[in-house]
């Protein structure tokens, strides 16, 4: 599972329905499901991660899989070993699933292709690659919003016709790209809002053409994508708001004048949400720059902020992905 661009509506439905089942199972204490007993899941993370890595590892353990973690700082990469040979080493140890995060776009897909060509029988899950894609994050965002809009039936249909506003550093966000594919597939209208330096006009056409490598879009009727530079106008009529972290580590030049100026124009606060004209939930993929993308008061308001809920939902969603990848007859 490398990208959401090629996901069909049936794929989204399957993941959300399975995540709902896993979410409903009490998992306190030492309770485990035997679904992946005897399987080995390896997290190959070449970038720092708190939520994604921990969530995948906890999800694997709750399905009774064995888990091993890779640390690039203490690996043979420093001695010149290739990424492919590193992955094949873990496959030789018995890995059934590799969860791969890398700073360069396309690495998980390339690794999956090269392992397949080498005859290795292993599943590769994309844990985030460069600016390209973060499929599991978008799926948990989708699940979180579906549970908010339709608690009894959190399916893709819960997003149909909803107006979802995504605010901030879209340019450097793989989360935003994956969410554009996911939300529009479910029939949501997506409004992107941010300064031109962090939101190029080209994003208005992001889902207009079939995904790369496909002659036809697997989604017959996608929701629309709009750009709006003014935050108050973007928020008008919103059903949910997602704000994105300013990824200063990926910025190669000064793309904002100051954090204070950014917060004044694009920071989400209780007062700013008044433009929505109704109570709406706020999401953020984390980590949050408190007082920049979100005010501290809003971040800590459980009536509005769904950020902790996103973290909680990451576990059943990733359980669903691991189950579908490792417990399928294809592996």
| DSSP assignments along 178-204, one per residue | HHHHHHHHTT-EEEEE--TTTS-GGGG
The Cα 98–Cα 85 span in angstroms is 13
Considering the domain architecture, whether residues 94 and 242 belong to the same structural domain is answered as no
**CATH value at residue 61:** 3.40.50.1370
Mean of the pLDDT values across residues 244-263?
76
Residue 4 forms part of a structural domain? no
14 to 61, 156, 168: CA distances (angstroms): 21, 10, 30
Which range (35-44, 68-77, 167-176, 182-191) has the least confidence?
68-77
Mean of the pLDDT values across residues 16-40?
89
Considering the domain architecture, whether residues 262 and 211 belong to the same structural domain is answered as yes
Cis preceding-peptide flag for 298 (omega within 30 of 0):
no
Considering the domain architecture, whether residues 291 and 143 belong to the same structural domain is answered as yes
Considering the domain architecture, whether residues 59 and 106 belong to the same structural domain is answered as yes
The Cα 34–Cα 77 span in angstroms is 34
Left, alpha or beta for 104 (phi > 0: left; psi -120 to 50: alpha)?
beta
Residue 331 forms part of a structural domain? no
Considering the domain architecture, whether residues 105 and 191 belong to the same structural domain is answered as no
Mean of the pLDDT values across residues 245-273?
82
Residue 3 forms part of a structural domain? no
Considering the domain architecture, whether residues 48 and 124 belong to the same structural domain is answered as yes
Residue 157 forms part of a structural domain? yes
Prediction pTM value: 0.94
Confidence of residue 330 (pLDDT cuts 50, 70, 90): very low
Q: Which own/partner pairs from 29-34 qualify as long-range (CB within 8 Å, at least 24 positions apart)? A: 32/61, 32/62, 32/63, 32/64, 33/62, 33/63, 33/64, 34/63, 34/64
For residue 160, the Cα-to-chain-centroid distance in whole angstroms is 19
The crossing angle, in degrees rounded to 10, of helices 9-24 and 174-185 is: 100
3-state secondary structure labels for all residues of 65-97: CEEEEECHHHCHHHHCCCHHHHHHHHHHCCCCE
Tokens of 55: 């969530």
Considering the domain architecture, whether residues 296 and 319 belong to the same structural domain is answered as no
Mean of the pLDDT values across residues 58-84?
83
Residue 114 forms part of a structural domain? yes
Considering the domain architecture, whether residues 169 and 277 belong to the same structural domain is answered as yes
Considering the domain architecture, whether residues 118 and 139 belong to the same structural domain is answered as no
Residue 225 forms part of a structural domain? yes
The Cα 218–Cα 7 span in angstroms is 7
Write phi, then psi, for 17 (nearest 5 degrees): -65, -40
pLDDT one-digit tens code per residue, 298-316: 999 999 999 999 999 999 9
Considering the domain architecture, whether residues 82 and 217 belong to the same structural domain is answered as no
Domain of 22? Answer: 9-133+312-326
Considering the domain architecture, whether residues 209 and 124 belong to the same structural domain is answered as no
Tokens of 261: 């100026």
Considering the domain architecture, whether residues 169 and 106 belong to the same structural domain is answered as no
Where do we find the tokens 């720059």? Answer: 289
* E strand residue ranges, the chain: 40-45, 66-70, 97-102, 123-129, 163-167, 189-193, 225-227, 240-243, 282-283
Residue 1 forms part of a structural domain? no
Confidence of residue 329 (pLDDT cuts 50, 70, 90): very low
Cβ–Cβ under 8 Å, residues 67 and 60: yes
pLDDT one-digit tens code per residue, 173-229: 999 999 999 999 999 999 999 999 999 999 999 999 888 888 899 999 999 999 999
Task: Please provide the average confidence, as pLDDT, over all residues in the chain.
Answer: 92
pLDDT computed for residue 248 by the predictor = 65
Domain count of the fold of the chain: 2
Residue 281 forms part of a structural domain? yes
């Amino acid at each position: 599972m490398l990208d959401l661009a090629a996901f069909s509506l049936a794929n989204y439905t399957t993941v959300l329905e399975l995540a709902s089942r896993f979410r409903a199972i009490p998992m306190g204490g030492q309770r485990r499901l035997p679904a992946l007993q005897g399987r080995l899941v390896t997290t190959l993370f070449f970038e720092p991660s708190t939520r994604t890595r921990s969530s995948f590892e906890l999800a694997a353990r709750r399905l009774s899989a064995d888990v091993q973690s890779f640390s690039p700082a203490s690996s043979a990469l420093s001695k010149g070993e290739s990424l492919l040979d590193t992955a094949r080493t873990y496959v030789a140890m018995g890995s059934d699933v590799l969860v791969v995060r890398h700073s360069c776009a396309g690495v998980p897909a390339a690794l999956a292709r090269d392992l397949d060509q080498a005859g290795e029988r292993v599943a590769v899950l994309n844990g985030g690659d460069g600016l390209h894609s973060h499929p599991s994050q978008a799926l948990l965002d989708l699940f979180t919003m579906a549970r908010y809009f339709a608690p009894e039936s959190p399916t893709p249909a819960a997003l149909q016709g909803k107006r979802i506003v995504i605010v901030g550093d879209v340019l450097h966000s793989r989360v935003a790209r994956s969410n554009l594919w996911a939300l529009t597939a479910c029939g949501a209208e997506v409004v992107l809002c941010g300064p031109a330096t962090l939101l190029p006009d080209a994003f208005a056409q992001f889902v207009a053409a079939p995904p790369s490598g496909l002659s036809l879009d697997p989604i017959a009727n996608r929701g629309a994508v709009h750009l709006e530079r003014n935050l108050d106008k973007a928020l008008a009529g919103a059903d949910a708001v997602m704000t994105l972290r300013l990824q200063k580590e990926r910025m190669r030049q000064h793309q904002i004048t100051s954090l204070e100026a950014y917060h004044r124009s694009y920071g989400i606060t209780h007062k700013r949400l008044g433009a929505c004209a109704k109570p709406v939930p706020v999401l953020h993929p984390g980590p949050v720059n408190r007082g920049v993308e979100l005010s501290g008061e809003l971040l800590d308001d459980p009536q509005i902020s769904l950020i902790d809920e996103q973290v909680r939902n990451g576990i059943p969603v990733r359980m669903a992905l691991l189950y579908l990848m490792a417990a399928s007859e294809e592996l």
